[in-house]
Amino acid sequence: MASSLLLRWGPTAAVALVFVALAIASPETLVVTAKNPLAWLFVAGVVALSVGITVVGTRVFHRPMLARTVGLIPVVAALVWGFLPAFQDEKIVDAAPVGLPAATTAGTAASTSPAGTTSATAAPTSAGPTSAAPTSAAPTSAAPTSAGPVELGSGELASLDYQASGVGRLIQLPEDELLVRFEGLDVENGPDYVVYLVPGSDQRAPGNGVFLGELQGNQGDQNYDVPAGTDASGPQTILIWCRSFAAPVANASVG
């Protein structure tokens, strides 16, 4: 009797507990889910699958206990995939390109970028005492100004459907390579986040933007290579996008 009650009401109680925990730890996640039609479709699909498994197992195979147990699998999988990231942080720290100056945007970049400039200025200092090779020290100091990385634009990350902070930078590397870099990134975590570079300012959908890859982590300093041949002239937007629910997470206008 107790096991039957557990299987009958257990899924409902588990879902209720998850939503209570979300309401306490990350209320924005519930708000975004409630406003997103794709999220409701996803929830409806999971419920329909769970009910279907339970009905078929009960009426066709006459194994109600087993059917209810198996019917829990899509519910648990959906909860883990959709809501577990909200309780986890993943920090990724990529080194800045050597010789990259500090971001021109005030804010969080000021606490992270000096590390890059410190490492850039440290190279000539260590090379200075070597009097036997003066010719190698001179190109090192000239590289950041003539052939080093150049910032094309930077901007503060703006929260859209999720809370976010940090700085986004668009950087031109030697040989005309482009790089998008986040510094001091801190965004509320969620499922299936990806990064785009979109032409225009304050863009909130990928549109005809360039896909840069999945977001490596929701915190830290991160680099993303821009595909060769991308036209980065004019204003650009670095966009973090939730691919599964077609929702904008955060953006930064650069250039």
pTM: 0.64
Cβ atoms 151, 99 nearer than 8 A: no
pLDDT tens digits, one per residue of 62-95 = 777 777 778 778 877 877 776 677 678 899 999 9
Q: How far apart are CA 26 and CA 19, in angstroms?
A: 10
| 102 CB neighbour count, 10 Å cutoff | 17
- Say which residues have a Cβ less than 8 Å from residue 27's Cβ, sequence separation at least 6: none
pLDDT at 194 over 90: yes
Cβ atoms 92, 31 nearer than 8 A: no
Scored b (16 or more CB within 10 A) or e, 52-75 reads ebbeebbeeeeebeebbbebbebb
pLDDT tens digits, one per residue of 243-253 = 988 889 999 99
pLDDT tens digits, one per residue of 22-41 = 666 666 666 766 777 777 77
Pull the structure tokens for residue 149. 């990385």
Least confident of 103-112, 152-161, 198-207, 243-252: 103-112
Domain range summary for the chain, segments of one domain joined by +: 2-87, 92-254
